[in-house]
Structure 1
Amino acid sequence: MIVLGLLAACSATPPAEQTIRDHYFYGGLAAFHEDMHAEAARQWQRAAELGDGEAARNLGHLYRQGLGVEADGHIAAAWYQVAADAGVISADYNLGMLYMRGGPGLPPDPDEGLKRLGKAAQAGFPPAKAELERLAAAPAPPVATPAPTVAETAPAPPPAPAPPAVSEPSPLRMQIGSYRTRAAAEQEWKRLRLKGLTPEIIANRVEGKGLWYRLVAVGPAQAVEAFCASAQAKGMSCWSRTR
């Protein structure tokens, strides 16, 4: 039998500024999951301006996809950079993918993209490591070269660099959805049966919508990314947080 409820508070009361940041961050999540994208952008921008790096990363998502704001690759990159500077590992991955593929008004920059992916992989972010491995395994495009003369010899290729060591990723917190009642959130957790993750249900008041209950899954990055991959395959978004 799964016992649901808030995780026990084992630490001291957080400072008031962090409480305010969390209010805006989770208010943005609740708004996003209700398809109130403009409201999510407003809440996350307020949290980011108060120093919340993960809110800045989520703003990057919105500007990259044009959800609730006008799509703009340059603004998306700027918010991802703010998040990366704040120590959000996944933001380096998002920035790397944005540079690899380009975005609205932002041309691709593969060199910068590989640099960012390498930084995220070295910090222990599994999707970045997987992307680098995929790129390394992809066949290189053929390059036409003139036939060597008798005096020319083909130099031996340099040895491949050793892959960077990666450390264990930090646990993640991922919002699954927001619900009108606690019972609905509990029922959703029982339905999903997510292995390796612990549930957390948090009451949150959304402006103009009243009291909602957020269902958050807490656990190792591998379990969170596995769920995210499944969700994205179904056209759903996945939003995680390291604390």
Structure 2
Amino acid sequence: MVSSSEENITRLGEADTVTGSTMRSCFGKAAGSRLAVAVLALALAGCADTKGDPMQTVRDSLFYDGLAAFHEGYYKEASIRWERAAHFGDGEAARNLGHLYRQGLGVDQDAAIAVAWYQIAADAGVVSAQYNLGMLYMSGGAPNLAPNPSVGMYWLNKAAAAGLPPAKAELERLAAAASEPKPEPVATPVVAMPVVAAPDPAPAPAFVDTPETARAQVGSYRSRKDAEADWKRVRKPGLEPEIIEVNMGERGRWYRLLAVGTPDAVEAYCDYAAKQKVGCWPGRSRQP
């Protein structure tokens, strides 16, 4: 994904940014959500073990279609794809919807709805959603979300326990601010002395919006063997292949080949791909 102004919209690999088919989770309960329809659809979808789940290819297809739309600047289209994926049990798609509603990308900006989607993703174990949920509860989202520090601290602690560095840094910052000595009350002096204000505590870390893992689609193939062969042709240092099987109905089964690595490595590959006229989708973000 790509610039620091964009979300970690890609799938999270355990630093929280996206993994592919190896990191699938079902939803937990969404307490206090304004998304009753989403919760109902979730209940219907169930929470079965995703290993061998035939719906996995559907979730992958919707997620990566949304990712491609996001990179092209079609945020409304991305929100539609990710909402469908979320209804089918994709926690990372729910996290990305939280990003969109928090920033007002393709949807009306609404902190309460962002919290509802972050809640679903956090309950599904998506660590960056737990952190962002905690940060929203700590600060609130005027005018439609009041701060709730106790709930915020719960989610920050949960994300920190999972090893997310920004959550650990925020807890350390809050602890340092709380331990600062408070001035003792003094009698009014005969001669007023100037009061030097204590320095403000260090600013909180930003929301987790930058991916630590990125993906670019190299191409689609009629067989896994063809996808594996093409990877041998285009592979670059610092990238790993990921092959996703997609059932295209009457068109049969196709295999998507993705290049997976750090954002810098994926961007370097896309630059190379553009010169060689080979696949790299999505590439750099463009406005419609």
**TM-score > 0.5, shorter chain as reference:** yes
2:101 aligns with: 63
After TM superposition, the score normalised by the length of structure 2 is 0.50
Query: In the aligned structure 1, how far is the partner of 2:85 from the partner of 2:153?
Result: 29
Which residue identity is paired with 2:146?
P
Residues 227-238 of structure 1 aligned to structure 2 (within 5 Å): none
2:160 aligns with: 121
1:132 aligns with: 171
Contact 1:29 / 1:175 at 8 angstroms: preserved in 2? no
Match of 1:216 among 218, 235, 260: 260
2:200 aligns with: none
Contact 1:72 / 1:104 at 8 angstroms: preserved in 2? no
Q: State the shift of 1:124 in Å.
A: 2.5
Q: State the shift of 1:30 in Å.
A: 1.3
2:78 aligns with: 40
Residues 97-108 of structure 1 aligned to structure 2 (within 5 Å): 97-103=135-141, 105=143, 106-108=145-147
Q: State the shift of 1:111 in Å.
A: 2.9
SS of residue paired to 2:55: helix
Query: In the aligned structure 1, how far is the partner of 2:245 from the partner of 2:56?
Result: 17
SS of residue paired to 1:84: helix
Which residue identity is paired with 2:80?
R
Match of 2:151 among 103, 112, 115: 112
Deviations 1:85-142 (A, max 9, x none): 2222221111011122333532333332222101111122232112212333347677
SS of residue paired to 1:14: coil
Deviations 1:181-229 (A, max 9, x none): 999xx98x85xx65xx64547698xxxxxx9975432xxxxxx6999xx
Query: In the aligned structure 1, how far is the partner of 2:256 from the partner of 2:142?
Result: 34
Which residue identity is paired with 2:137?
Y
Q: Which runs of 5+ in 2 are unaligned?
A: 1-19, 23-49, 188-210, 221-226, 247-254, 266-283
Matched, 1:49 2:87: yes
1:86 aligns with: 124
Query: In the aligned structure 2, how far is the partner of 1:13 from the partner of 1:71?
Result: 36
Q: Quick one: structure 1 residues 42 and 79, their matched pair in 2 at CA, closer, same or farther if it must change by over 3 Å?
A: same
Aligned-pair identity (%): 54
Q: State the shift of 1:47 in Å.
A: 0.6
Which residue identity is paired with 1:129?
K
Which residue identity is paired with 2:175?
A
1:22 aligns with: 60
Contact 1:201 / 1:214 at 8 angstroms: preserved in 2? yes
Query: In the aligned structure 2, how far is the partner of 1:39 from the partner of 1:124?
Result: 33
Runs of 4+ in 1 over 3 A off after TM superposition: 137-148, 176-183, 197-204, 211-215, 224-227
After TM superposition, the score normalised by the length of structure 1 is 0.58
Q: State the shift of 1:16 in Å.
A: 1.1
SS of residue paired to 1:74: helix
Deviations 1:64-99 (A, max 9, x none): 010110000000000011111222222111101112
Residues paired across the two proteins, number: 180
Q: Which deviates further from its counterpart, 61-70 or 25-34?
A: 25-34
